[in-house]
Amino acid sequence: MPAAPWRGAALLLCCACLCAALGKLTPAVCSRCGSHRPTSLVSVCFSFCTEQRGCILGEVGKPVLLPCHPNLGRLSNFSVEWRNHDEAVFRSLWDGDGNVETWSVNYARIPTDAAATGNFSLELPSPSFQTYPNLFTCAYSKRSQNHLKSLTFVSFVVVAASFRIPEVRKEESSYLCRSWGGYPQPVVYWLIDDSRQPPDGAVTTRAQALPDSHLYNVTSRLTVNVSKDDTVSSQITFKWFRRKNEKKRK
Ligand SMILES: *[C@@H]1O[C@H](CO)[C@@H](O)[C@H](O)[C@H]1NC(C)=O
Ligand SMILES: *[C@@H]1O[C@H](CO)[C@@H](O)[C@H](O)[C@H]1NC(C)=O
Ligand SMILES: *[C@@H]1O[C@H](CO)[C@@H](O)[C@H](O)[C@H]1NC(C)=O
Ligand SMILES: *[C@@H]1O[C@H](CO)[C@@H](O)[C@H](O)[C@H]1NC(C)=O
């Protein structure tokens, strides 16, 4: 396969994109125990995820379309390859006579008229997301006079499922935050009086993978003595995202 020459460029681009994406995709607070304004995790967390930024928000178990439609002009003797990180998920090779040879993983596909339209958008019918974040690249390469011309496009796919609006309970000297049905694995942050982080060892969080799905339940307990005037708040976010504090009264 003519994949090798792209590889270095694709990986380099992956890195650049990942850094850019990590910088840009700083979500706001996602869900909060005891929030009076219940918000959907997905819509809040991913308000920074837009197609213009090369970011596609997928949903666990639902088809996702990764755009790739470079303006390439007349096409013959060319190939297209999609990768998730460095693992190929789709490859098509067209010869000069318009014949096509296609290889794919898990029914990933591009439009059948891709050679005519130049639309190489990849559809993943039922994505299985083993790595997180997913970083897809669409690489095109053209053979002419014994050399390969290659271009790489990067799509960045975030896959998530919304956690249910969390429940918070105050017990004697502890606070309990619980939610369920979300993906990927969450982390729970607590804040005392909107500014102080709890002391070391005061928080125990358990995320439990639900059987037969990618989803998680999460339970977090904060054990701390706070004065009556202090507020206690918590937020559920994803492991991979950076933390962002946001003020909110309880
Ligand atoms: C396509 O590639 C074949 C084999 O490499 C070559 O013989 C042919 O001339 C090429 N056709 C075009 C249109 O470049
Ligand atoms: C590319 O193909 C996909 C799948 O058929 C379609 O949804 C999308 O609108 C197409 N994009 C363009 C720019 O034509
Ligand atoms: C996950 O949480 C839901 C709602 O509280 C509960 O019904 C379910 O039993 C929990 N599942 C596991 C495996 O803890
Ligand atoms: C909270 O205060 C009580 C009574 O002063 C004390 O027994 C307990 O150890 C304290 N708990 C924590 C987590 O500091």
Whose CA is closest to atom 9 on ligand 4?
225
Q: Give the tens place of pLDDT for each residue, 220-243.
A: 999 988 887 777 887 777 655 433
What does the pLDDT average to over 28-45?
35
Which residue in 59, 33, 66, 63 sits closest to 183, CA to CA?
Answer: 59
Q: Give the tens place of pLDDT for each residue, 149-184.
A: 677 777 777 666 767 777 778 888 889 988 888 877
pTM equals 0.59
Burial 142-168 (b: 16+ CB within 10 A, else e): bbeeeeeebebbbbbbbbbbbbeebeb
Q: From 3.30.930.10, 3.40.50.2000, 3.40.50.720, 2.60.40.10, which CATH number describes the 41-160 domain?
A: 2.60.40.10
Domain with CATH 2.60.40.10 in the chain: 41-160, 167-247
Does domain 167-247 fall under CATH 3.30.1330.80? My reply is no
Token pair, residue 236, equals 């559920």
Best residue among 176, 206, 217, 236 to mutate for probing ligand 3's pocket (most ligand atoms within 8 Å of CB) is: 217
Which ligand has the minimum distance to the alpha carbon of residue 113? 2
For residue 9, which phi and psi values (nearest 5 degrees)? -60, -45
- Of residues 132 and 166, the one with the higher pLDDT is 166
